[in-house]
Structure 1
Amino acid sequence: MDLKIKGKTALITGGDSGLGIETAKFLVREGVNVVLSDKTNGKKLKNAVTQVEKDCEKGAKVMGMAADISKNQEVLDMADRIEKEFGGAHIIFHSAGARGAAGDFLELTDDDWMKTIQVDLMGAVRIARAFVPHMQKLKWGRMILVASENAFQPYEDESPYNACKAAVINLSKCLSRSYSKEDILFNCISPAYIETPMTDAMMEDLAEEKDCSIEEAVKWFVKNKRPHIAMQRRGKPEEVAAVVAFLCSQNASFINGSNIRIDGGAVESAFG
């Protein structure tokens, strides 16, 4: 499929693994320049750039940039660098985030809450504030924020994460009403139980707790914690990336302010 975005530039936060890498591969095959960003410019990010470069077509370029989304100045500096290098970012896929503090609600402190909010909510705010001006100058834009099934079906031990992801959906809807007349569209995706570093870490902890293999931990988790996933497995990053790539495209020009669940049926309600 021709997504009609050849020559545009995309920023992917959380770009050193999982959803970020797989989405980057889709975009560079369409001729989109991609900036992969993560908290540090370490070996993992450099390896991600090398990996995505193998898929480049139609003159696409790939670059790595470090920026901590919990620090406003680092986000602004990254925006300036992208503007100088590529003339600005037409597309943002903001997939950086963290599970944050988890546990009994009464045991979570203000600091626990604020650390999660600074990454999962304010990170999205900072990215939008820094890059909407690029899109205004370019007269075209697509921004996709990552929410979660937790926004609709919250889990009791993840209250800060649940609240932040619900807020991200609301933020995206708010922004979609503000800038759509300038051909700048905002949408959310809500993945559930995808093969990412975050769920890998969860399964490693569970395997240790139950003294079993990670594969056994995944099976136990699906059966006992995500019984509505009919396929009885974790989702694959590329299954999410295909949806994101479409939302980034000119072909998605009438999708705005939406949230798309990519959860294998994990959310029980038909209307969540």
Structure 2
Amino acid sequence: MDLGLTNKTALVTGGTKGIGKAIAVAFAAEGTNVVICGRGEEALNEARKEIEHNGGTVLAVQADLSKQSDVDQLISAAIDRFKSIDILVNNAGIVAGFDDFESIDIEEWQELFNVNLFGTVRVTKAVIPFMKKSGFGRIINISSESGVQPDPFMPHYNASKAALINFTKSLSKAYAAQGILVNTVSPAFIMTPLLENLLQDNARKQNIEFEEAIQQFLREKRPHIEVKRPGKVEEVASAVLYLASTQASFINGVNLRVDGGSVASQ
């Protein structure tokens, strides 16, 4: 299937590791120009080298999306290099621990929303004028199953991901007639380096095998994942690439859950 992504330009925020890096690598494999950003210089350089090693053309920009000045510099650098931004994947986000509501102060809520929601708003607001000018755009916001089926803990994270889904739907109604399609991808229990480290730590603490730690997490925390395994970052990337492609030209405003059946409703 020809995805029509060759020579397009994709900006992937938080593209230095985990799901974001997998998305960036997948775009590069399709002949897409890739712009990645992240806050850590070392991780940014490692991701850039990996994408280039796989034959991709990549621009890596250090940026903190909670700062408007960094967003402005990011977009300016991308336009200077590639002249357009055809695809935006808003992947950057933070998780601030598995705390309960009463233990989270308002400053933590504000910090998390400033990245997870307002970082996405800042970048999207900066990119849309270029998409409007070209008459083509794909925006994919990376949310989470927690935005639909929240846990009793991390209410600030859950709420930020729910806000992303709502933000997506609003934009999908506002810009579709101008050739800009906006969708959400919501992963669940994806084996990122962060999750792998957490499960490895749980295995060591309980003196059990890593695979048993995975199955324990599935039983206790994600019993509705019917495929009975974690997802792969590449499986999320495949969903993103399809929504970004010309093949998905009649898909707009959806929340595509890549969750193995984890959300226990339609």
| Cα distance change on mapping 1:205 and 1:167 into 2, 3 Å | farther
2:19 is aligned to 19
1:31 is aligned to 31
Structure 1 CA distance, aligned partners of 2:116 and 2:48? 24
Give a deviation string over 1:115-166, Cα, whole Å, max 9, x none.
Answer: 1111111111111111111211222110100111011111011100110100
- The structural deviation recorded for 1:74 is 0.4
Structure 2 CA distance, aligned partners of 1:55 and 1:246? 20
Structure 1 CA distance, aligned partners of 2:29 and 2:172? 27
Structure 2 CA distance, aligned partners of 1:155 and 1:206? 19
Give a deviation string over 1:183-220, Cα, whole Å, max 9, x none.
Answer: 01110011000011332343245345545454432221
Structure 1 CA distance, aligned partners of 2:197 and 2:123? 26
User: Contact conserved, 1:99 with 1:198, CA < 8 A, in 2?
Assistant: no
2:5 is aligned to 5
**Pairwise CA RMSD of aligned residues?**
1.6
Instruction: State the one-letter code of the partner of 2:246.
Output: Q
Give a deviation string over 1:13-34, Cα, whole Å, max 9, x none.
Answer: 1111122222222212221100
Instruction: State the one-letter code of the partner of 2:94.
Output: A
1:264 is aligned to 260
2:251 is aligned to 255
1:52 is aligned to 51
Give runs of aligned pairs for residues 52-131 of structure 1, distance below 5 A: 52-56=51-55, 61-131=57-127
Matched, 1:227 2:226: no
1:245 is aligned to 241
What SS does the aligned partner of 1:145 have? strand
Higher deviation after alignment, 107-116 or 182-191: 107-116
Give runs of aligned pairs for residues 120-159 of structure 1, distance below 5 A: 120-159=116-155
Instruction: State the one-letter code of the partner of 1:52.
Output: I
Higher deviation after alignment, 104-113 or 208-217: 208-217
User: Contact conserved, 1:101 with 1:160, CA < 8 A, in 2?
Assistant: no
Instruction: State the one-letter code of the partner of 2:58.
Output: V
What SS does the aligned partner of 1:88 have? coil
How many equivalent residue pairs?
A: 266
Structure 1 CA distance, aligned partners of 2:84 and 2:199? 38
User: Contact conserved, 1:102 with 1:160, CA < 8 A, in 2?
Assistant: no
Instruction: State the one-letter code of the partner of 1:68.
Output: D
What SS does the aligned partner of 1:37 have? strand
User: Contact conserved, 1:206 with 1:217, CA < 8 A, in 2?
Assistant: yes
Structure 1 CA distance, aligned partners of 2:204 and 2:92? 26
Structure 2 CA distance, aligned partners of 1:46 and 1:106? 39
Structure 2 CA distance, aligned partners of 1:138 and 1:41? 32
User: Contact conserved, 1:192 with 1:235, CA < 8 A, in 2?
Assistant: yes
Unmatched runs of 5 consecutive residues or more in structure 1: none
TM-score (norm 2): 0.94
Identity of aligned residues (%): 39
| Cα distance change on mapping 1:201 and 1:70 into 2, 3 Å | farther
| Cα distance change on mapping 1:24 and 1:37 into 2, 3 Å | same
Higher deviation after alignment, 165-174 or 26-35: 26-35
Instruction: State the one-letter code of the partner of 1:17.
Output: K
1:191 is aligned to 187
Instruction: State the one-letter code of the partner of 1:141.
Output: G
User: Contact conserved, 2:231 with 2:260, CA < 8 A, in 1?
Assistant: yes
TM-score (norm 1): 0.92
| Cα distance change on mapping 1:209 and 1:106 into 2, 3 Å | farther
Structure 2 CA distance, aligned partners of 1:7 and 1:241? 18
